[in-house]
Amino acid sequence: MPENAHAELDGFIDLPSELEGRLIKIGSALPAWNVKGAFLADSTIEQYRAVLDSAPLFGEIRGLLLSALSGKAGGYVVLRLRNIAQALGIGDEFLRLATAILAEVATPFQPFQQWPLWKEIGTDLRAHPGMSTGTGYNAFHMDLVNATRPPDFTTLLCVRPDPLGAGASILSDAREAVSRLTPSSHALLADVAYSYGGFFDLSDVGEEYKPFPVLDGESEISGFVRFTAKMLVESGLDEAHAHAARELADQMVAGQVAFTLQRGDLLIVNQHRWVHGREALAGGQRDVQPERRRLLLQLFLRSRDSAEPVAQ
């Protein structure tokens, strides 16, 4: 009897060895992708789907992914592709396979015009420690918080973890955190009073949203908890609105989950519900050769039924 795929309670999905073997063969045979504008081309999605559908048990994995990423009980998942990464390496073949799998969740796209479909997030000792490429604590946030149409999902593929053993990924259920707020903070976070970041060289994420409400009043299917801890420093907020955002940040930290991604782990986060960040990397990064430092690849997903929201 074939081994079954299973999703652990902590949000990790392991693949049965039979399926891993088939996906290794598929990865070495998938054609290069085509991109139309910022999006993976429909023709490529159709090609990849036809190949994946030939793999035993892949339909079960598709169902597990979709279930884990939707509904109030879900919102993020880590697909363990470690054995496949060991067999294929993390190069073109592996990335085609990862892209094909992600295309079963939603449409892969890259809103940053200067980057390819998979964007590198490396470790830059010159970067501000709190940035995604920095070495310090990267506080909770959603990606492209200041766009009217942020990506519905953000994904992170681990190419190399911190060789010194730190840099755990952190996630928090933003809507659960909101449910624990005081009524006064909830009301303040619904005000169009917050702002963060620049807005340039972007595609297919709508228009700049500045200022924006943290709580837009929409459902978790169409709306977002528009939060980034960095806005506490850069928004020029009055004390009342800053206090409300700090209360939300504290609730996110109180409810966080943390785990360290390993080579080949693929994290998928539903931005309508969850925020993400990173614990600080270990000290001593200057003693680590640049080619051995932590490296992730990021790709964004757009739900196929996503509609343009109306800015307030």
pLDDT mean across residues, the chain: 93
Summarised one tens digit per residue, pLDDT across range 39-63 is 999 999 999 999 999 998 999 999 9
Best CA proximity match to 69, nearest among 248, 298, 229, 303: 303
Locate 181 and state its tokens. 């707020």
Summarised one tens digit per residue, pLDDT across range 134-193 is 999 999 999 999 999 999 999 999 999 999 999 999 999 999 999 999 999 999 999 999
Q: State residue 73's pLDDT score.
A: 66
Say which DSSP state 55 is in: S
Report the run of H or E that residue 228 belongs to, with start and end.
none
Summarised one tens digit per residue, pLDDT across range 68-89 is 998 666 799 999 999 999 999 9
Fold for the domain defined by 6-302: Double-stranded beta-helix (3.60.130)
Say if residues 300 and 109 touch (Cβ distance below 8 Å). yes
Q: State residue 235's pLDDT score.
A: 66
Q: State residue 303's pLDDT score.
A: 95
Find residue 208's DSSP bridge partners.
Answer: 147
Is the per-residue pLDDT at 8 higher than 80?
Answer: no
Q: How confident is the model at residue 9 (pLDDT cuts 50, 70, 90)?
A: very low
Summarised one tens digit per residue, pLDDT across range 222-244 is 899 999 999 988 768 999 999 99
Q: How confident is the model at residue 221 (pLDDT cuts 50, 70, 90)?
A: confident
Summarised one tens digit per residue, pLDDT across range 232-285 is 887 689 999 999 999 999 999 999 999 999 999 999 999 999 999 999 999 999
Is the per-residue pLDDT at 11 higher than 60?
Answer: yes
Say if residues 299 and 110 touch (Cβ distance below 8 Å). yes
Q: Is 58 exposed, middle or buried (0-12, 13-18, 19+ CB in 10 A)?
A: buried
Q: State residue 7's pLDDT score.
A: 45
Locate 241 and state its tokens. 């609105």
Distances (CA, A) of 218 to 191, 214, 221: 14, 11, 8
Q: State residue 6's pLDDT score.
A: 47
Pairing of strands 265-270, 295-302: unpaired
Sign of the dihedral through C-alpha 276, 282, 286, 290: negative
Q: State residue 306's pLDDT score.
A: 63
Over residues 114-120, the mean pLDDT reads 96
Q: State what percent of residues in the chain have pLDDT above 90.
A: 87
Helices (H), ranges, the chain:
17-27, 42-52, 58-68, 82-88, 92-102, 174-179, 183-189, 231-234, 239-254
User: 96: which residues sit within 8 A by CB, 6+ positions away?
Assistant: 27, 30, 31, 32, 33, 48
Q: State residue 220's pLDDT score.
A: 85
